[in-house]
């Protein structure tokens, strides 16, 4: 029966690739720094490195500290989460993997009368709320620092530096996708106590993330990279690097925060500097609504399914 859990886990890993590759690649691709195919290859390798080197804390938070897992909760949570993530990607809207998985775990656990650690849930929820604003502030000040320093260099030096910076920030977000996003998915499987080779699971799931990025990520990349505000390498680096530092900070704390919403917070921050009229507030409202609907819907669906079961 463990094969069912692993298959569901890989299904949602594909969803991460289709949705969360946009976090790492959208700004670089949207600003014309790197071609999509090369960016996806970079993304895939760093996802594996992130889950291998730094995924343990987030996996423990989600898989051990939140609810008392059983096999039914594990399967229902992963399948419902994967369905919602793929559906959201098809609608070209970015979605937080964390919110869907946490909502699914909590809903299925409550329906099964299984113990839920509400203190851990509260910490996760607070991290969700403050992380986008933290990324927005970081991105704002990064942009201001660049204006006071790098902008004084010659045009050609600025362009060369920013291209390097953008690639580095994309690499950081890709690493975080493994260390935080994929770790959120694998946490329940790893801590359920299955007899499974962890390194092999890390490698296979990272490869499936890579496949999802190849096949479907271009849909969300279009929304995040070009749909919120006009990006150039200057503002793109500030947004992406600010978000990357923010997610890395919460990863050290073991908190599963949304790279998706940190990126959106960073993009919005630099967009505000250019003027509120440059930010497409209607799209941000749709994304914000998705932020509320995603965990609520996943909670409700898994709650009903577990009650039926």
Which band of pLDDT confidence, cut at 50, 70 and 90, is reported for residue 280? low
Taking alpha carbons only, the member of 237, 240, 224 closest to residue 280 is 224
Neighbours of 120 (CB within 10 A): 18
> Do 259 and 173 touch, CB atoms closer than 8 A?
yes
CA atoms of 142 and 163, how far apart (whole Å): 16
* Sequence spans of domains, the chain: 2-308
Is residue 56 pLDDT above 90, yes or no?
Answer: yes
pLDDT in tens, 194-227: 778 899 999 999 999 988 888 866 555 555 545 4
Q: Which residues pair with 116 in a beta bridge?
A: 67
Write down the pLDDT at residue 187.
Answer: 93
Q: Per the structure block, which two tokens stand in for 10?
A: 């890989």
CA atoms of 39 and 21, how far apart (whole Å): 9
Is residue 117 pLDDT above 90, yes or no?
Answer: yes
State the pTM of this model. 0.85
Which band of pLDDT confidence, cut at 50, 70 and 90, is reported for residue 228? very low
Q: Which residues pair with 67 in a beta bridge?
A: 116
Q: Give residue 32's region: left, alpha or beta (phi > 0; psi -120 to 50).
A: left
Which band of pLDDT confidence, cut at 50, 70 and 90, is reported for residue 126? very high
Question: What's the whole-number mean pLDDT along residues 18-25?
Answer: 71
Task: Report which of residues 288 and 191 the model is more confident about.
Answer: 191
Is residue 251 pLDDT above 90, yes or no?
Answer: yes
What lies within 8 Å, CB to CB, of 7 at 6+ separation is none
pLDDT in tens, 73-106: 888 988 888 788 777 767 766 567 888 999 999 9
Write down the pLDDT at residue 286.
Answer: 65
pLDDT in tens, 143-188: 889 888 887 888 788 888 888 888 898 899 899 999 999 999 999 9
What is the overall mean pLDDT for the chain?
83
> Do 290 and 159 touch, CB atoms closer than 8 A?
no
Number of DSSP helices (H) and strands (E) in the chain, helices first: 12, 0
Which band of pLDDT confidence, cut at 50, 70 and 90, is reported for residue 276? low
Write down the pLDDT at residue 225.
Answer: 47
Task: Report which of residues 175 and 238 the model is more confident about.
Answer: 175
Q: Which of 14-28, 114-128, 204-218 bottoms out in mean pLDDT, i.e. has the lowest?
A: 14-28
Say what percent of the chain tops pLDDT 70: 84
């Amino acid at each position: 029966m463990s094969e069912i859990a692993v298959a569901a886990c890989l299904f949602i890993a594909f969803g991460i690739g289709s949705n969360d590759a946009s976090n790492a690649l959208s700004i670089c691709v949207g600003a014309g720094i790197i071609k999509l195919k090369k960016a996806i290859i970079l993304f895939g390798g760093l996802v594996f490195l992130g889950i291998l080197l730094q995924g343990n804390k987030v996996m423990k938070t989600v898989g051990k500290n939140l609810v008392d897992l059983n096999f039914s909760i594990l399967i229902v949570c992963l399948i419902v989460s994967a369905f919602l993530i793929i559906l959201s990607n098809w609608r070209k809207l970015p979605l937080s993997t964390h919110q869907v998985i946490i909502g699914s775990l909590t809903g299925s656990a409550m329906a099964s009368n299984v113990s839920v650690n509400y203190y851990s849930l509260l910490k996760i929820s607070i991290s969700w709320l403050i992380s986008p604003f933290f990324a927005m502030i970081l991105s704002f000040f990064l942009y201001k620092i660049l204006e006071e320093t790098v902008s004084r260099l010659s045009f050609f030096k600025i362009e060369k530096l920013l291209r390097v910076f953008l690639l580095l920030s994309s690499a950081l977000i890709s690493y975080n996708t493994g260390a935080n996003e994929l770790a959120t998915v694998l946490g329940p499987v790893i801590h359920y106590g299955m007899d499974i080779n962890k390194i092999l699971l890390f490698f296979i799931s990272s490869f499936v993330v890579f496949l999802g990025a190849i096949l479907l990520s271009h849909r969300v990349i279009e929304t995040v990279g070009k749909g919120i505000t006009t990006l150039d390498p200057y503002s793109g680096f500030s947004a992406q690097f600010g978000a990357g530092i923010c997610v890395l900070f919460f990863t050290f704390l073991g908190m599963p925060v949304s790279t998706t919403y940190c990126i959106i917070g960073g993009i919005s921050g630099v967009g505000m500097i250019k003027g509120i009229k440059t930010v497409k507030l209607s799209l941000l409202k749709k994304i914000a609504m998705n932020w509320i609907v995603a965990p609520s819907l996943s909670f409700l669906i898994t709650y009903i399914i577990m009650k039926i079961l």
